């Protein structure tokens, strides 16, 4: 059986993640008390028509019984065969989400009165668990659709098919992607933003792609970059890495970075499982 355990920061998108898993055939249980996880796992294994794929969410809503499993999380994961998905998010963004939704943080009580203190307390509780995770998704800058796409690509195919590579474009003006493993800065290349007919387009449009890639600077950079990536990917796979995020950044994340994220993704798709995401391409100009 394929068991997936989802945990992470409250407000980081665990409900969205479990919904995505349900859409691809997982039997999902949200907010399962830690004391019941082992019994539930055994029940699934003993069922006459046992389910092939099961996902459960265990998080801080369990409050005082939250630590039952996580006190010996490594042993539990090895024994029961769970893959662990951890969802993280910037604390300031979590505070803003709670303000917008007017939801109460599950750790707010007589001892913890503010959302900020509850988030800090929860992050301390989860610090060890995050280190055990097979997959970590930072949802700070992700839309609902982008989160769903990542979850589906992580779990839709057999994990034995190799490392999943996410080629992501972003804008430095919006901050570095926290989940990035490799970061390439292409702000050194000529910027289509200053060409009037290209300014409103993105790197997904042929005129912008041609403008970027036909420049002498890019033509020299491309083979060097592809050669480096081809050298690094097998090394990461050899180390047992299950996911790799290659982030390519330019100023606004609309032109040069999009072209190069697409270029890297299309190149790597020949030999690897790849998703291509453009974090900031749809953002409006500030």
What confidence tens digit (pLDDT) does each residue in 104-113 have?
Answer: 888 887 676 7
Token pair belonging to 212: 């970027």
Domain with CATH 3.40.50.300 in the chain: 2-156
What pLDDT is recorded for position 285? 57
Q: Is the pTM of this model over 0.85?
A: no
What pLDDT is recorded for position 144? 86
- Of the candidates 248, 231, 111, 225, which has an alpha carbon nearest to the alpha carbon of residue 177? 248
Displacement of CA 212 from its chain's centroid (Å): 28
Mean pLDDT, the chain, integer: 86
What is the signed CA dihedral for 153, 157, 161, 164, rounded to 10 degrees?
Answer: 10
DSSP for 124-163 reads HHHHHHHHT-SEEEE-TT--HHHHHHHHHHHHSS-GGG--
What pLDDT is recorded for position 263? 97
Digit-coded pLDDT (tens) for 153-177: 888 765 445 678 999 999 999 999 9
* Under-50 pLDDT residues of the chain: 159-160, 286
- Of the candidates 127, 41, 133, which has an alpha carbon nearest to the alpha carbon of residue 84? 133
What pLDDT is recorded for position 102? 84
- Of the candidates 260, 80, 129, which has an alpha carbon nearest to the alpha carbon of residue 188? 260
What pLDDT is recorded for position 286? 47
Q: Which CATH class is domain 2-156?
A: alpha beta
199 vs 253: CA distance, rounded Å = 12
């Amino acid at each position: 059986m394929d068991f997936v355990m989802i945990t992470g920061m409250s407000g980081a998108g665990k409900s969205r993640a479990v919904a995505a898993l349900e859409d691809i055939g997982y039997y999902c249980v949200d907010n399962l008390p830690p004391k019941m996880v082992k019994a539930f796992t055994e029940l699934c294994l003993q069922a006459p028509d046992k389910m092939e794929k099961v996902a459960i969410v265990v998080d801080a809503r369990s409050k005082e019984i939250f630590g039952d499993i996580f006190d010996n999380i490594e042993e539990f994961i090895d024994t029961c065969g769970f893959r662990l998905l951890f969802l993280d998010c910037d604390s300031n963004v979590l505070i803003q989400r709670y303000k917008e939704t007017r939801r109460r943080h599950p750790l707010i009580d007589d001892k913890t009165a503010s959302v900020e203190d509850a988030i800090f307390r929860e992050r301390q509780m989860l610090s060890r668990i995050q280190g055990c995770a097979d997959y970590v998704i930072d949802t700070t800058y992700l839309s609902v659709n982008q989160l769903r796409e990542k979850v589906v690509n992580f779990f839709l195919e057999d994990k034995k098919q190799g490392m999943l590579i996410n080629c992501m474009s972003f804008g430095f003006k919006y901050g570095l992607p926290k989940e990035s493993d490799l970061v390439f800065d292409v702000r050194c290349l000529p910027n289509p933003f200053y060409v009037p007919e290209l300014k409103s387009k993105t790197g997904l449009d042929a005129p912008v792609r041609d403008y970027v890639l036909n420049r002498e600077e890019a033509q020299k950079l491309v083979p060097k970059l592809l050669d480096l990536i081809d050298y690094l990917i097998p090394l990461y796979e050899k180390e047992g890495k299950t996911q790799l995020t290659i982030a390519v950044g330019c100023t606004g994340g609309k032109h040069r970075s999009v072209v190069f994220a697409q270029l890297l993704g299309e190149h790597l798709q020949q030999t690897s499982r790849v998703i291509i995401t453009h974090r900031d391409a749809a953002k409006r100009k500030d």
